[in-house]
Amino acid sequence: MVKKSKQSRTGEVPQLESPSAIVPEVVEPDGLQPFEELTEEEERDRLFLERKVERAFYEAGKALKELRDRRLYRSTHSNFESYCRERFGYNRSRSYQYIDAAVVVDNLEKCPQIVDIFPTKEGQVRPLTKLDPDEQVEAWQQAVEANEGKVPPARLVKDAVQRIRERRPVPNPWHVGDVCTILVKENPELRGYGGCWAIVTEVHQFSCTVQMWDGLHQVRLENLKELSYSSEQQEFMRSLSQRLILLQMDELEGPVRDFLAGLGKLNRPYLTSLESKMLSLVEEQVELRTNNGNLRQSTK
């Protein structure tokens, strides 16, 4: 049976709101409404807890340093690195990044008359570890000023550190012909080249031009590491570099380029018998292709 709509006393049928027009009231947890004022005690608690969150990396670094220095891991682990990996999931570099960051923050806190804005993330501190203590304070203040008095992002800290490092009259320790290996660190331009060996071809004030398996690259000093090879071993690597230079062709097939890239990441100053045979075969094929190309050019 169909019910009739009730009419008002004026005879009009009232209009019902559509479901989509009904806006539900938002109720915050515990009955709190948005932007409710905090009491003075709550405000103090909030600032205290926010500070703990911002300093979490610092507290972690301080704790890791004490665990390492006092060897408090020795009842379950033979070394600090394996302890951090199994207990906290940190690899060696991550553990020491926290420790180094805590040391830098301690240094910044020694100058309250200069520094009143402090780092809130480990990544903001990491570039400062490359500087002396006095320079760390200077670089941090430059980054804070560049960010209009607020905690600066890591990018601005890196820029400040680089400016300070470039004014140092430190001689470049590398020489043409030196054999080195590439450290990527935080340089995105070197991604994929970590562990590659290289030959120094030019020495600049703050960088070197190096020959890798696929061509020349300009690399900053902090991204180069010396390989402890004998004179004979270094001469072998320079000879190998010259052989790889002659094979740099755009038309090389994928498997051949993969093989050459593998040679470019050798962590030893010699080739195995198989590697030597394969390299000779590639050289023969490239020479044959080059000769055929020259022949076609001469007959045109």
- As for how many domains the chain has, the answer is 2
Q: Residue 151 is part of which domain span?
A: 48-166
pLDDT digits (tens, 9 = 90+) for 160-176: 998 998 887 668 899 99
- Give 103's Cβ-side CA count (13 Å radius): 17
Of 134, 166, 198, the domain-final residue: 166
Stated pTM of the model: 0.49
Q: Are residues 159 and 187 in the same domain?
A: no
pLDDT digits (tens, 9 = 90+) for 106-138: 999 888 767 778 899 999 999 999 899 989 999
Whose CA is closest to 61, among 82, 84, 79, 45?
Answer: 84
The label of the residue with tokens 């780092």 reads: 119
Of 166, 196, 223, the domain-final residue: 166
What percent of the chain has pLDDT above 70? 83
> Can you tell me the distance from the alpha carbon of 249 to that of 268, in angstroms, rounded to the nearest whole number?
25
Q: Give whole-number Cα distances, 34 to 43, 50, 136, 211, in Å.
A: 16, 19, 41, 61
**Residues ≥6 apart with Cβ < 8 Å to 154:** 121, 123, 124, 126, 127
- Residue 36 has a pLDDT of 86
Average pLDDT over residues 249-253: 70
Q: Are residues 111 and 217 in the same domain?
A: no
Residue 93 belongs to some domain of the structure: yes
- Residue 168 has a pLDDT of 74
> Can you tell me the distance from the alpha carbon of 183 to that of 181, in angstroms, rounded to the nearest whole number?
7
- Residue 246 has a pLDDT of 86
**Residues ≥6 apart with Cβ < 8 Å to 289:** 249, 251
- Residue 285 has a pLDDT of 85
- Residue 295 has a pLDDT of 44
Average pLDDT over residues 178-206: 92
